[in-house]
Amino acid sequence: MIYDVIIIGAGASGLFLGANLNGKKVAILEKNSSAGKKILASGGGRCNITNRFISTKNYLGEQKFIEQILKILAPDQVLNFFSELKFSEQKQNQFFCDSGAKSVLNVLLKRQKADIFYNEEVLGAKKVDEIFEILTKDEKFRARNLVIASGGLSYKALGASDIGYKIANDFGIETSTLSPALVGFSVQKDEFWFKELSGVSLKADVKINSKNESYKFSGDLLFTHRGISGPAILNASLFWQKGRICINFLPKFNEKNLINGKKQLSSVLPLPKRFVLEFLKKFGLKDRAFYEFNDNERQIIKRLFAYEFAPAGTFGFERAEVTKGGVKSEFLDENLQAYNVKGLYFVGEVLDITGMLGGYNLHFAFASALKVARVLNL
Ligand SMILES: Cc1cc2nc3c(=O)[nH]c(=O)nc-3n(C[C@H](O)[C@H](O)[C@H](O)COP(=O)(O)OP(=O)(O)OC[C@H]3O[C@@H](n4cnc5c(N)ncnc54)[C@H](O)[C@@H]3O)c2cc1C
């Protein structure tokens, strides 16, 4: 049996593609025993499916290439596809599913036009006389078109594998360096005091310099037993390439208000008391009124407005929401088809395109899948 299309991966992009292909014989090969494990975990189980404002600026990667993919799918069209579900717009224009990620997955499965084969881990693919041969542990599948929708390396527990990059490389298509992104930072010895604050969260501005450009992310920052996480840090991790970052723990507080205060510092600062006490302890200071500190000590306290340090690293692929890097877009035409292998397509996270936190990655998975569906439906 020769399929018109075989899709590797029943994740966000593979399922969306399978739901948008018409009149074709399509199979999805999935290594897990069920579909869309990452979708189920997305948005803390509430699936942040898209964002009101989608723009190339929210993505790392070749901007022109990204633009023509995003053009094909507006946020409203994503919501319309899931029209039986209700979505609420929350902070930073993110749309979350009121009934949870499971119902998002159910709609994708309900609209499915592909046959899904579970427990079929793809090990490799080759092309023999115009036909792709896709090898799994026990079987060989054959198809005229092959779409790689196998995602990135992040969260192995949810099914991640390197098969997409391997198939690309086997066909002579290059991949860029892969690294964990949308992930927390582990800390060096000087910042071990962060670990004492596990569970504390606060609003902060995180600044990062990358390739002579400066980026600032505002939002929640969360201390964990390994270091720091939370939306502001996750976004910063997308641009971080080793080196120092700078955190303003008091983004909305005017320095002048320090001087007026007669109360103890921990009562004056709009910060969790536990945080202020741990900070003071780290620098051997007591909780006093600001005027009682000497000049040196005041300089230390002012570091709260610009606390600079170099993270030790990230929490790694095991905890990263996405993989930065992937199949290089210069090897693909505008329909995401490999220039050098007719009928071979790449969609979703396997590409060298990574979105910020906020629904951008699922949106991209859907948009890239739709782009390929349009051309395969012709
Ligand atoms: C915890 C978590 C929360 C997230 N929350 C959000 C969010 O709220 N909003 C958002 O926009 N993004 C979120 N993301 C990112 C988003 O889920 C991914 O970017 C998106 O799922 C990528 O879609 P994809 O189809 O490319 O890959 P995936 O959805 O990862 O699907 C790939 C599929 O391929 C299968 N596969 C892998 N290797 C093989 C193989 N060898 N053979 C057969 N099958 C294979 C996998 O099992 C998987 O089912 C989150 C990610 C994580 C980890």
To 10 degrees, the CA torsion angle through 254, 259, 262, 268? 20
Instruction: Return the exposure string of 255-285: e unless at least 16 CB atoms fall within 10 Å of the residue's CB, then b.
Output: eeebeeeeebbbebbebbeebbbbbbeeeee
Atom number, ligand 1, closest to the C-alpha of residue 9: 34
For residue 50 and ligand 1, the question of a CB distance below 6 A is answered with no
Which tokens sit at 55?
Answer: 């723009």
| Among 107, 100, 148, residue whose Cα is nearest residue 124 | 148
Verify whether ligand 1 is closer than 6 Å to residue 12 (CB atom).
yes
Q: Which atom of ligand 1 is nearest to the CA of 120?
A: 43
Closest C-alpha among 5, 53, 112, 34 to residue 363: 53
Query: Cα(180) to centroid of ligand 1, in Å?
Result: 13
> Is 58 a pocket residue for ligand 1 (Cβ < 6 Å)?
no
Buried b (16+ CB within 10 A) or exposed e, 32-68: beebbbbbbebbeebbbbbbeebebebbbbbeebbee
Instruction: Output the CA 155–ligand 1 centroid distance in Å.
Output: 8
Rg, C-alpha atoms of the chain:
24
122 CB near ligand 1 (under 6 Å): yes
Closest CA to 221 of 241, 198, 243, 242: 198
C-alpha of residue 357 to centroid of ligand 1, in Å: 14
For atom 20 of ligand 1, the residue with the nearest CA is 362
> How many whole angstroms separate alpha carbon 321 and alpha carbon 183?
6
Longest CA span, the chain: 82
The Cα 52–Cα 68 span in angstroms is 18
The answer for residues whose C-beta is within 8 angstroms of residue 135's C-beta and 6 or more apart is 122, 123, 124, 125
Are 147 and 17 spatial neighbours (Cβ–Cβ below 8 Å)?
yes
Q: Write out the chain's pLDDT in tens, 378 residues.
A: 999 999 999 999 999 999 999 999 999 999 999 999 999 999 999 999 999 999 999 999 999 999 999 999 999 999 999 999 999 999 899 999 999 999 999 999 999 999 999 999 999 999 999 999 999 988 999 999 999 999 999 998 899 999 999 999 999 999 999 999 999 999 999 999 999 999 999 999 999 987 788 999 999 999 999 999 999 999 999 999 889 999 999 999 998 888 766 889 999 999 999 999 999 999 999 999 999 999 999 999 999 999 999 999 999 999 999 999 999 999 999 999 999 999 999 999 999 999 999 999 999 999 999 999 999 999
